[in-house]
Structure 1
Amino acid sequence: MSLPDLSDFDAVVYDLDGTLVNLRVDWNDAAHDAALVLQDAGVDATSMDLWDMLDVADEAGVRDELERELASHERQGAWVSDLLPLADYLPDDGVPSGVCSLNAEDACRVALDVHDLSHHVDAVVGRDTVETRKPDPEPLLTTLDRIDADPDDAVFVGDSARDEVTAERAGVAFRYVGDGPSGV
């Protein structure tokens, strides 16, 4: 895997899972438990993925409960997460840094703490920090605002096509952590 050159930027925002760490989450178990939350609310989530379940949870009035369930799985996965090679460069990047993730903010903070990276990250924005989630630009722009960085001078580093679309919509440069997208 090749690492991106970030030297031309005044601020760097990283995706978390698949970029700095690998959260060990059993997503099938998480989806099963999320479906149970929806089932209790009278919603059949049999054919839904997690993103659909989150959208439906808003409509069913159980978003907070579903978020708690997913965040629990993510926090457990954060405690046993694996550090990825790009994380080694975080302490030495010399610029304001943030994390913008589809994972719950609390799980992001656990993973950063576990790997002693928290003091190198100036802002963390998770799926539950703002009203929208990637690929909407709001989470990335909020992260940049919190590190007092101009989108024109920053780069977003991620591992998925969704991350790339997020950067494009926010008007921010983008670099893949590896050789290309791992999925949308």
Structure 2
Amino acid sequence: MPNADRPDGLDAAAFDAVVWDLDGTLVHLAVDWEAVATDAEATFRSAGVDADGMDLWAMLDLADAEGMRDDVEAVIADHEREGARRSTRLACADRMGAFDAEGVCSLNCEAACRVALDAHDLTSHADAVVGRDSVATRKPDPEPLLETLRRMDAAPEEAVFVGDSRRDELTAERAGVAFRYVGDGPSGV
């Protein structure tokens, strides 16, 4: 819902808190997701578990079921941290720091979020950072976004979540938080 002053609809006076998605919103992580899947599949294979052809989210669910979450999470997180170091800053990152309370809620691991924020001099603007591994569930479950708001001491009804995907929009909807797309709309789920 853009307004006349801000094409992205983020009027600082309209919200007490802004929570940003990371990858695709503030930065673009330089991650080869096919290589991540290949390495995760190899981790499963070495444990005698078939995960061939699964997407990463299904692999994380399988890892939970097989008691392999730490091993699989480590493989994914290694790629994400390296991708965060080589990430590119996106235009929306220039808006970070313009609001009273700001946080980051991401499907990436928390460490990768922090690496990317550090790499682009955004850390000082983040009052809270919640990644995929910070809580027991992941987006589009509302808990990661709600935990980000709790860490910011902000109420859902006074906040906005800015993201690039339908998954981000669903997360906000389920958490009772306003939502704004960065750019022209969803990049995917």
Q: TM-score, normalised by structure 2?
A: 0.94
Equivalent position to 1:53, from 46, 50, 59: 59
In the other structure, the counterpart of 1:132 is 137
Equivalent position to 2:149, from 133, 141, 144: 144
Aligned to 1:179, what secondary structure does the other structure show? coil
Instruction: Give the residue type in structure 1 aligned to 2:72.
Output: L
State the 1:95 CA deviation.
1.5
Aligned to 2:150, what secondary structure does the other structure show? helix
The answer for unaligned runs of 5 or more in structure 2 is: 1-6
| Matched ranges for 1:1-184 at <5 A | 3-7=8-12, 8-91=14-97, 93-184=98-189
Instruction: Give the residue type in structure 1 aligned to 2:58.
Output: D
- Residues 102-127 of structure 1 show CA distances to partners (whole Å, capped at 9, x for unaligned) of 00000000000000000000000000
State the 1:64 CA deviation.
0.4
8 Å Cα contact 2:18/2:99 also seen in 1: no
Instruction: Give the residue type in structure 2 aligned to 1:155.
Output: V
8 Å Cα contact 2:80/2:109 also seen in 1: yes
State the distance in 2 between where 1:171 and 1:41 align: 41
Question: Could you list the runs of 4 or more consecutive aligned residues of structure 1 that deviate by over 2 angstroms after TM superposition?
Answer: 2-7
Q: Percent identity?
A: 65
Instruction: Give the residue type in structure 2 aligned to 1:88.
Output: D
Aligned to 1:97, what secondary structure does the other structure show? strand
State the 1:41 CA deviation.
2.0
State the 1:74 CA deviation.
0.3
Q: State how many pairs are aligned.
A: 182
State the distance in 2 between where 1:94 and 1:130 align: 25
8 Å Cα contact 1:125/1:142 also seen in 2: yes
State the distance in 2 between where 1:27 and 1:99 align: 21
Aligned to 1:112, what secondary structure does the other structure show? helix
8 Å Cα contact 2:30/2:83 also seen in 1: yes
C-alpha RMSD over aligned residues: 0.9
State the 1:42 CA deviation.
1.6
8 Å Cα contact 1:157/1:174 also seen in 2: yes
- Residues 61-99 of structure 1 show CA distances to partners (whole Å, capped at 9, x for unaligned) of 1100111110000000000100000101112x2311000
The answer for unaligned runs of 5 or more in structure 1 is: none
